[in-house]
Amino acid sequence: MTDYPIVLLLALLPTLGNFAGGVVAELVETSPRMLSRALHVAAGVVSAVVAVELMPTALSGGASIWAIVLALLAGGGFYMLLEMSVDRLVGGDRADASMVYAAVGVDLFADGLMIGVGSVVSFSLALILAVGQLLADFPEGFAAIANLRSNGVRRFWCLTLAGSFIVFCLLGATIGYWLLRGQSEALKLSALAFTAGILQIAAVEDLMKEAHEAAEDTRWSSIFFIGGFALFTALTGYFDH
C-alpha cells in the first residue's frame, strides 16, 4: 500500500497539468477549433485510462463480475448526481463562469478519488493513473481558462481559480485512500470500477459534449481523440515494462 504523503504528491499531478494548461491559455490566443481539439485529446486519454488500466485491473483480480458491473454503474450514476447538484446550485448555463469552475472541480475531485483508490491497490497503478490524468487535465485546464476568459474573468482571477483546484483533487485522494485502507481486495477492485464509471461518463458526456459545442467536428477531430488514447496506452506500456 502506498503511504499517504506519497498519495498526496501523486494527487498534485492532475492539478499541475490543469494549471499548466490554464497558464498556456493565458499566454496564447485561443480559437474554438483549438479548444475542441484539446478536449478531444483529453477525452481520448480519459477513455484510455478506463479501457487500458482501470477495467482490466478490476476484472483480473477475482472479484465477482456482478460486483464490478454494479460498481461501474454506480460510478456513472454518482457522476450524474454530482453534475445535477452543480446545475441546481449555480444554474444550468454551461457558459457561465461559476459553472465552468464547478464542473472542473468535480472532474478533479474524481481524479483525486481515482488516485486514492488506485494507491491502495499498488503504487504503480496510482502513478500511472496520476500521470494519465496529468495528460488529460492539461487540455481540460486550457479549455476551462479560455472559457473563463471568454466570460470576462480577469487574468489574476483565472490563475487564482486554477490554483484553487488543488483542494478538490487532494480531497478526493484523501477520501479514496482512507475509505479503502485495510479493506478487502474485492472492495478495492469494485472501487476501481466505480471510478471507471465516473471517468467514462465524464469523457463521453462532458468532455466530448464541450468539444462539440466549441467547434464543429472535422476528420481531424477523430485523430486528436485517438491520439490521446494512444498516448496513454504508450505511457502504460512504458511503465509496465
Alpha-carbon distance values, 230 to 118, 195, 196, 209, 216 (Å):
21, 21, 18, 21, 23
In a domain, 110, yes or no: yes
- Provide the residue range defining the domain that includes 138: 4-236
- Model pLDDT, residue 141: 83
All cell numbers assigned to 140:
481540460
75-79, 95-99, 202-206: which range is least confident on average?
Answer: 95-99
Residue listed under C-alpha cell 457522476: 79
pLDDT tens digits for range 106-124: 778 888 988 998 888 888 8
- Model pLDDT, residue 68: 94
pLDDT greater than 90 at residue 218: no
Q: Round to whole Å and give the CA distance between 114 and 17.
A: 16
In a domain, 68, yes or no: yes
Alpha helices in the chain (DSSP H): 4-27, 32-48, 55-59, 65-90, 97-119, 123-150, 155-164, 166-180, 185-201, 208-214, 219-240
Instruction: Tell me the range of 144-153, 175-184, 198-207 where mean pLDDT is highest.
Output: 175-184
In a domain, 17, yes or no: yes
**65 compared with 183, residue with greater pLDDT:** 65
Using a cut of 0.85, tell me whether the model's pTM lies above it. Answer: no
In a domain, 136, yes or no: yes
- Model pLDDT, residue 82: 76
Burial of 238 (0-12, 13-18, 19+ CB in 10 A): exposed
**215 compared with 233, residue with greater pLDDT:** 233
- Model pLDDT, residue 86: 67
In the chain, the amino acid numbered 164 is S
In a domain, 73, yes or no: yes
pLDDT tens digits for range 160-188: 878 888 998 999 899 989 988 888 888 88
- Domain tally, the chain: 1
In a domain, 241, yes or no: no
Q: Round to whole Å and give the CA distance between 120 and 123.
A: 8
In a domain, 55, yes or no: yes
In a domain, 159, yes or no: yes
